[in-house]
Structure 1
Amino acid sequence: MNVPRILSSALLMSALVLPSLAHAWWSGDFKHRTKVVLNTSAQGMETKEALSGVVVPVRLHSGNFDFIGAKPDGADLRVIAADDKTPLKYWVERFDGTNELAVVWVQLPNTLPGTDKNTVYVYAGNEAAVAEPINAALFDGAMAAAIPFSGQNGEPVADATSALQSSGPLAREATGLIGPSGKLDGQAVSWSSDKLKAAANAPYSISLWFKPEAVTGTLIAQGPLSLKLDAGKPSVTVGSTTATGGELPTGAWAHLALTVGNGKLTLYVNGAQAAQTDLPAAGAPIEGALQLGQGITGLVDQLEVATTVRSADWLKLAHAAQSADAKLVATSTETPDSVAHAEGGGEVGHFAILVNNLTVDAWVVIAILGVMFVIAAWVMYDKAVLVGRADKDNRKFLSGFRDARDVMTVSSQGMKHSQLARLYEAGLRELTKRDVGKTGSTPLSGASIDAVKAAIDADLIRESQTLNSKIVLLTIAISGGPFLGLLGTVVGVMITFAAIAAAGDVNVNAIAPGIAAALLATVAGLAVAIPALFGYNYLAARIKNISSDMGIFVDEFVTRVAETYGAR
């Protein structure tokens, strides 16, 4: 047996296989995806039983989905299971690329209890992809009707299962709980179908979201079955049996559900059991038209009817998922590079997450701050070099000036960066005009000495202006940088909250990236201002010292001239 050859082959196979395992990505044609996790553990929204066929809405917005990289109509959306292989059934209720909002209903084949591994992926970013047809089998076989109230204002209400005939026209609220919501005005909306019935005490379940304007009236009625509100207190009745419990405040969304079967009549409010009572052995069948909103006003969303008894965990999960409860639903944006990095043992950088979630206004502000930083850095470098060379040449010139016996014979050659040398040359020009130092020249009068000093002072001012030129750009960076950054942050936070409000998604995992990315603009502003502040203080101190040396030199030069060539 050739052991080295076998080992070499094994290593080669590992090298070929491991990268493909580490880089899990359904299709390379899709450039990005949104990871959606339903946490059914104690740290999330805990459930006790495994559920199959639950259909939940996935809300997409600028905080968890790259609308710029997706097709404008959402035709390239694909939903894949946690194994990153199995396509899932889905239906796009809404996709608004302009306002960066979408709602995608996804069927979860299996939802395990007590785990944070219930994951689906929403892929996008493939320009060649075409829209897939709506899957009629999105809901499980027990779902008799699923009415999302999508559509335009005044249109009939359609059933997503295609089992029911459309109702009459109904007004819509464009920004409802999940997508558009129906507006009840006291007139009943009704549906009829052979599927909407149950024999006496046979399994039957109804659930819906309701936001009441008036807290008294009949919300649902079908034969002997009714769901009513009395001063905000819901009660469900089948024949002579009634179960009452819970309370609905005005102006707030609430999830109401009722189940009939197993000898029990049960009422649920916001995913929790509110009341339960026994059913008599002989009951009346539930049949006839299903009426919604007789004598009651408010908003309604996601009406579901099933010919089974939905379990407490099913209703709890549906309530939490449809309301985008942050404890249950977590979303995040991923790219092939970020997934490869994470699965390769690394972790997606926080800075990369912030950059990926920056809004356009934040990019504009950061770009302006970037230009300001470059200008400030250039000014600091230019001035640091200038004052460094000036300081060196000034010391060299001053040493020669003080060692010279005759003020007219000081050499300034090779000291082109020295302000003192240039002031000396200015004074020397004035003295030469007055023939100072020549044979037979008259001594300088007090007025002449004052004139020489005035000429040197004029050059001193010009030298000071040169030293301080462009320093104002640093003060602009110091004072303007943080304000520009704050502007970017405020606008970014406003956009993030507006998107969350429009999407109806209160998930902290969706809000956090947008808020954190908005704060990046303030960080950028401080990153410009802080170095500029340190550089400004350093340069201001150096320039002040050079200015003081120039003032002292002018006094010293004029004094020596007066002493040597002034009139006695």
Structure 2
Amino acid sequence: MTMGWSEMRRLRRSGGRVLSGLLLGAIATMTLSVSPAKAWWNDEWQLRKKVTVDTSASGANITDPVGTTPVLMRLHVGNFRFTSAKDDGSDLRFVAGDDKTPLKHHVEKYDSLLGEALVWVAVPNVQPGAKADIWLYYGNKKAIATSDAKGTYDPDTLLVYHFNERGTPSLDSSVWANNAQSVGQPAEGALIGNGLRLDGRTGLTLPASSSLAQAAGGTFSWSAWIKPAALQPNAALYSRRDGANALVIGLDNGAPFAEVTNAGTAQRSGAAAPVAPNSWHHLAVVAANGQVTVYLDGAVYASLNAALPALNTVALIGADTPSAGVSPVAAATTPSATTQPEAPAASAADGGAAAAPAPAEAAPAAAVAAMAGFAGDIDELQIGKAARSAGFIKFASIGQGPDQAKLISFSVDEETASWLSGYFAVILKSVTLDGWVVIGILLIMAVISWVVMFDRASYLNKQAKANAQFMKGFREIAHDLTMMDRGDADEVSTLGGRLGEADAKMMKSSSLYRIYHIGAAEIRHRFAQYGTSTPVLSATSIAAIRAALDSGVVKEMQRLNRMMVVLTIAISGGPFLGLLGTVVGVMITFAAIAASGDVNVNAIAPGIAAALVATVAGLGVAIPALFGYNYLISRIKDLTSDIQVFVDEFVTKMAEFYSADRPDPQQHRIAAE
């Protein structure tokens, strides 16, 4: 039975060591395997963030096809760390959701001091009713600029004006280089950076290039952001007249219209609710398959059954020129009362398709007076030779306007190195002095607790091996309990040479041997009183020796539990110290916010996160100490049980060998003869 219990104890000890090894291995594996969720496109860039384009019902709710389109990225201090990027934004890179395919982009505006940036990114194949991810990389001081305006737009885009120029003609960002032929007046602080201010008299001249030439019956797209200064009758936004043919896009008392003139016959789209002055609106006109559609803020506003004529002349923005041989509103869907006071309206039955008879004084050969010029601001003018889809127009209206948050969302920054240089680095930079004091105290507690755990684990392992070796020799004793003791606590008998010197040396560190030495010394002391080799120990002597052994047990238990109180202090005190640091940090954060008056999530979040670092540090001290304490306590209990069992075994053998009523070996020998 004794061997059985010994085997069970050895199994428990070995199982505990295996479990602790697995636990330490798991912790080490988790620590070493910390890495970003996905492989990085290029490790030379330190930071990245995910940009989500959401056309689903929870976002922009675009149900029509979109296709490849430029996406406007508005960067500010709330969603971008300008201090970590280059001052000119030349380290900006945009990668598709697969984190492998770089996307073309160009920077319209980048101001690191004011914390503002406008970047256009070409996103391929945008799907309606879905979400798509784009990775924004930055934080590489060695990067060179790769801004590519011409690569951002597809070949069907014939002209793109951002109106960022000052004192020079507007430059075309498309591949066709259709730069303006005149200088416009800049409008500071337009919807997207700077815009163009039109006074209603002088317009901006567009070139009569071969790429802008309009074929008869061809497709055409025009879009811009407009901000009327007032309600004007027949104000031309875009005008292109070529003899008896013309295309005019404008506003009539705030109502957008498209007017098409073919061979002297003019047709105008119908009017609906007018736009309010001094407010930005997205206006687009698309012509295809004999129909012209007017879009306002991404929705269909009006339509006109007319094919575009051939146009090869210059075009004007914000002004109009008179045309010869044009019948004034020959077939308008909704005639303008201000320009045609005497012209009869087309009948409702034919939808305005029939031409109204022209007055005699307005013969086809007579010149028609030019419309008034548009007065107000205009921004982000785009002209294309393809008929853009309704989804494309709505995407531009939402993605470039004040409701961009429905379509574009930015995630938090990620670091390329590790979590220690990512979110945690940002948090640590916000920790206040009081927090560092608490964290420093906790760090000292952690180091001390780890040293104690290592020391106790080493000591207990040494005790277990030494006790096992001692018990192996102790069980070989047949008649003299003192035969393993030479009378000196540092001297161990080798049992007649049966134990090696190394084994005997190991026994000296055994707690069981130290208790055995106490018992052997007590027996030897009583042997000296009798002066005989066969002493008799009375019950009183055995009880006295048992008391001496118990005192040795108490001392050995004190040795086993030495410094364990440090772990209990770490377990109970660590979280409370961390909580103290957190509470003080939160108090300081709110006090600073109250003093500055800046109440926003960007001002509160770093301080709160930094304050919580103290609690994390407290738990970091307590949790390992708790695991180590429970493991060490179980080992100490095993060794304590071994000591108790040994004391009982020693006293039993002592009573058997030295009691007064033990049988006389000499009498047994005579009886046997």
Q: TM-score, normalised by structure 2?
A: 0.50
Query: In structure 2, which of residues 384, 391, 396 is the aligned counterpart of residue 306 of structure 1?
Result: 384
- The AA in structure 2 aligned to 1:262 is N
Q: Is the 8 A contact 1:208 1:255 kept in 2?
A: yes
Distance 1:478 1:125 in 2: 31
Shift of the alpha carbon at 1:142?
0.9
Which of 253, 256, 259 is residue 231 of structure 1 equivalent to?
253
Is 1:170 matched up with 2:187? no
SS across alignment from 1:109:
strand
Q: How many residues align?
A: 369
What is the CA–CA distance in structure 2 between the aligned matches of 1:87 and 1:480, rounded to whole Å? 44
The residue aligned with 2:396 is 318
SS of residue matched to 2:392? helix
Q: 2:238 aligns with which of 214, 217, 220?
A: 220
Aligned to 1:110, the other structure's residue is in SS state: strand
Q: Does the aligned pair in 1 maintain the 2:435–2:611 contact within 8 Å?
A: no
- Equivalent residues of 1:23, 1:339 under 8 A apart: no
Aligned equivalents of 2:388 and 2:139: distance in 1?
37
Closer/same/farther in 2, CA of residues 168 and 372 from structure 1, 3 Å limit? same
- What's the offset of the Cα at 1:354? 9.2
- Residue 109 of structure 2, aligned match among 90, 94, 112: 94
| Equivalent pair of 1:246/1:269 in contact (CA under 8 Å) | no
After superposition, residues 129-208 of structure 1 pair within 5 angstroms as 129-132=143-146, 134-152=148-166, 154-161=167-174, 162-186=176-200, 187-192=202-207, 193-208=209-224
Q: Secondary structure at the match of 1:68?
A: helix
Which residue pairs with 2:365 in the alignment? Answer: none
* Counterpart Cα distance in 1 of 2:409 and 2:425: 15
Distance 2:152 2:60 in 1: 24
Check 1:480–1:141 CA distance in 2 against 1; reply closer, same or farther (3 A cut): closer
Tell me the equivalent position of 1:344: none
Alignment of 1:462-481 (within 5 A): none
Q: Residues 292-347 of structure 1, C-alpha deviation per residue, up to 9 Å, x if partnerless?
A: 11222211111010111111101001111111522111112321369989xxxxxx
TM-score in terms of structure 1 length: 0.59
User: 2:58 is matched with which residue: 32, 38, 43?
Assistant: 43
| Residue of structure 2 aligned with 1:111, choices 121, 126, 137 | 126
Report the RMSD for the aligned CA atoms in angstroms.
Answer: 3.5
Is 1:519 the counterpart of 2:546 in the alignment? no
Q: What's the counterpart of residue 268 of structure 1? A: 295
Q: Pick from 479, 482, 486: which aligns with 2:594?
A: 486
Partner Cα separation in structure 1 for residue 418 and residue 397 of structure 2: 31
CA–CA distance in structure 1, aligned partners of residues 206 and 260 of structure 2: 19
Aligned-partner Cα distance in 1 for 2:609–2:140: 33
Partner of 2:268: 242
- Deviation, 1:196, is 1.7
Deviation at 1:185, TM superposition (A): 1.9
Q: Hey, what's the Cα distance between the residues in 2 that align with 1:355 and 1:174?
A: 38
C-alpha distance in structure 2 between counterparts of 1:279 and 1:314, whole Å: 22
How far 1:121 sits from its partner (Å)? 1.7
1:355 Cα offset (Å): 5.2
Residues 143 and 521 of structure 1: CA distance in aligned 2, closer, same or farther (over 3 Å): closer
**Helix, strand or coil at the partner of 2:602:** helix
1:32 is aligned with what amino acid?
Answer: L
Q: Deviation per CA, 1:38-57, whole angstroms, max 9, x where unpaired?
A: 11111111223443320121
Q: State the Cα deviation string for residues 423-446 of structure 1 (Å, max 9, x = none).
A: xxxxxxxxxxxxxxxxxxxxxxxx
Q: CA deviation at 1:518?
A: 1.9
The amino acid that maps onto 2:400 is Q
**How far is the alpha carbon of 1:165 from its aligned partner?**
2.8
Q: Name the residue aligned to 1:293.
A: 318
SS at match of 1:149: coil
Instruction: Give the superposition deviation at 1:487.
Output: 3.0
How many angstroms does 1:37 deviate by?
Answer: 1.2
- Supply the distance in 2 between the matched residues of 1:339 and 1:207 (Cα, whole angstroms): 45
Question: What is the CA-CA distance between 1:523 and the residue it aligns to?
Answer: 5.9
Q: Deviations over 1:204-246 (max 9, x none)?
A: 1100001111232211111211112122111111112211334
1:73 and 2:88 aligned: yes
Post-superposition shift, 1:70? Answer: 0.6
Aligned mates of 2:149, 2:587 — CA distance in 1: 58
1:517 corresponds to which letter in structure 2? N
The residue that corresponds to 2:415 in the other structure is 336
Structure 1 residues 142, 481: closer, same or farther in 2, change over 3 A? closer
Instruction: Give distance in 2, aligned partners of 1:74 and 1:257.
Output: 31
Identical counterparts, % of pairs: 30
- Contact (CA 8 Å) 1:156, 1:169: kept in 2 or not? yes
Q: Quick one: which amino acid aligns to residue 314 of structure 2?
A: A
How far does residue 102 in structure 1 lie from its aligned partner after superposition? 0.9
* CA distance 1:245–1:287, shift in 2 (3 Å): farther
Query: 2:512: which partner in 1?
Result: none
1:477/1:270 Cα in 2 relative to 1: closer, same or farther (>3 Å)?
closer
Return the alpha-carbon distance in structure 1 between the equivalents of residues 310 and 586 of structure 2.
77
Structure of greater relative contact order (alpha carbons < 8 Å, 6+ residues apart): 1
Name the amino acid aligned to 1:242.
R
Residues 448-467 of structure 1 mapped to structure 2, 5 A cutoff: none
| Distance 1:24-1:278 versus aligned 2 partners, 3 A rule | same
Distance change in 2, residues 1:333/1:480 (3 Å): closer
- CA 1:338/1:209 → structure 2, altered by over 3 Å: closer, same or farther? farther
Which digits, 9 at most, give the CA deviation of each residue in 1:273-301, with x for residues without a partner?
01112126xx6323321211122221111
Change in CA separation of 1:353 and 1:310 when aligned onto 2, cut-off 3 Å: farther
Contact 1:155 / 1:171 at 8 angstroms: preserved in 2?
A: no
Is this contact kept in 1: 2:45–2:416, CA < 8 A?
A: no
CA–CA distance in 2 between the matches of 1:285 and 1:129?
47
Per-residue CA deviation, residues 507-543 of structure 1 (Å, 9 max, x unaligned), is xxxxxxxx3122348869999xxxxxxxxxxxxxxxx
Q: Name which of structure 1's ranges 178-187 and 161-170 shifts more when overlaid on structure 2.
A: 161-170
Give CA-to-partner distance per residue, 1:120-151, whole Å, 9 cap, x none: 12211011111125252321111111111123
Can you give the 5+ residue segments of structure 2 that lack an aligned partner in the other structure? 1-29, 320-372, 442-583, 613-673
CA distance in 2, matches of 1:136, 1:32: 27
The 1:200/1:208 distance shift into structure 2, 3 A limit, reads same
CA gap of 1:484–1:271, structure 2 versus 1, over 3 A, is same
Tell me, yes or no, if the aligned pair for 2:225 and 2:280 is still in contact at 8 Å. Answer: yes
8 A Cα contact 2:82 2:115, kept in partner = yes
1:259, 1:267 within 8 Å by CA — same for their partners in 2? yes
Q: SS of the residue aligned with 1:175?
A: coil
| Alpha-carbon contact 1:22-1:340 (below 8 Å) kept | no
- Alignment equivalent of 1:254, drawn from 281, 285, 308: 281
8 Å CA contact retained: 2:73, 2:121: yes
Distance in 1, matches of 2:182 and 2:60, equals 38
2:79 to 64, 83, 108: 64
- Secondary structure of the residue that 2:84 maps to in structure 1? coil
* Contact 1:354–1:520 under 8 Å retained in 2: no
- Give per-residue Cα distances to partners, 1:398-449, cap 9 Å, x unaligned: xxxxxxxxxxxxxxxxxxxxxxxxxxxxxxxxxxxxxxxxxxxxxxxxxxxx
